[in-house]
A and B are shown apart, each in its own frame.
Chain A
């Protein structure tokens, strides 16, 4: 999957979880809090993303994920480790 394709998939995925925004208004710069996700919602979002993208959001670096672009960067740098 190239980065553009990954970006599209992550945005579609986040749009499917967001309550108040659709995919067209989400960019890589969108922060989770601006998309209506509070801190617990964000934990749930990352949990669901593990299943959807086969990655494991583990360890301290996860705490720094704040935006859509952060998730895309993380997934692109971490090869799939789990199967859904």
Chain B
């Protein structure tokens, strides 16, 4: 039984909708700017990948906006694109339609604003809790489309989106659902969240005057990740059912692997990353030499990009020099729980179009990062097998493999 992707939707700092996103990605457009959504003058990191063109009033009522956090609004928009792209799912019983979503922080925008009000002894919005809860986005997607089957939310920090897509694969393989709306959503370009990551010395602070240069995975001068936001949604179903209903098929979701470092709460570990990639390859029933493209986790932190490079070399051996790698985060920043869903869409588009988007801001690579990262310009390459990596706090590593049919 094969699981296929039949619909996609995305809201990102470089485009809303797959066409706009992909056109910007292959042209190396940066979506990183000075922070506009709040007064960031007291932040050390004052740049982010924000979605400035997004207006929830265009598709939500006043009441729906009051009841939803921004991360849910981003998810709902991406889901509406993906559902429209996939076409009617009326052939499936509603109880067989599932949602599997990832979010690292959930409704943190509401958390921060409601907490600020409480500490000022002001009343808080009555929908604070249902806006903050991490499963809010999945619940709203289900409610909007009448998806009455399994409804799961995965919160594994930066790997949430990958785990959610992997959980969707498991649901389809084990017969617990016939179609799954899967992906990730995050909206945490926020003062408290960013201050938290600043305190961990994880964010870029040296490019506030030149935001478009701030996210530079694998580059010699990189100094941390750039906060991003967004949502990516896939519609997944069994191949034979998709063919039966006449759906267009983008790619096969062939494998999923995950592994926990169990060593450190935030520091990455090569062995765990190797294990996750290995598991995904085995699950896809392929060998590592068949992987043509890796959409790297590559957040632009000094340590993380080196560890991922070492992990790829460890697992792929000499083939590591053959595989094309690129970092979507060089253009959109790090959207935490949405990042692997967005990376998956980039991977699928590479399979679908034979174009690999570049890693921008890569003029001089870190000597310890010595693989082919598709620097600055897109390349044409037939991609039969693509892998998307996601490595999160908690030592959580997840990899997913997509193949052309």
Contacts and interface: CB of A to CB of B under 8 A. Distances in A.
Interface of A: 16-17, 19, 40-41, 43-44, 47-48, 50, 56-58, 82
A40 B123 contact: no
B367 interface: no
A82 B67 CA distance: 23
Interface stretch (B58-66, B79-87, B258-266): B58-66
A56 B122 CA distance: 9
Contact of B126 (A19, A47, A56, A58): A47
B125 interface: yes
Interface residues of B, number: 10
Majority SS at the chain B contact face: loop
B235 to A, nearest CB: 29
A47 B63 contact: no
Interface of B: 61-63, 66-67, 122-123, 125-127
Contacts of B66: 44, 48
A56 B61 CA distance: 26
A44 B125 contact: yes
B113 to A, nearest CB: 13
Nearest to A40: B126
B123 A19 contact: no
B127 A40 contact: yes
A43 B63 contact: no
A40 B61 CA distance: 16
Nearest to A82: B122
A47 B125 contact: yes
A19 B125 contact: no
A19 B122 contact: no
18 contacts: A16-B62, A17-B63, A19-B61, A19-B62, A19-B63, A40-B126, A40-B127, A41-B63, A43-B126, A44-B63, A44-B66, A47-B123, A47-B125, A47-B126, A56-B123, A57-B123, A58-B123, A82-B122
Contacts of B125: 44, 47
Nearest to B127: A44
Contacts of A41: 63
Contacts of A44: 63, 66-67, 125-127
A82 B62 CA distance: 23
A19 B62 CA distance: 8
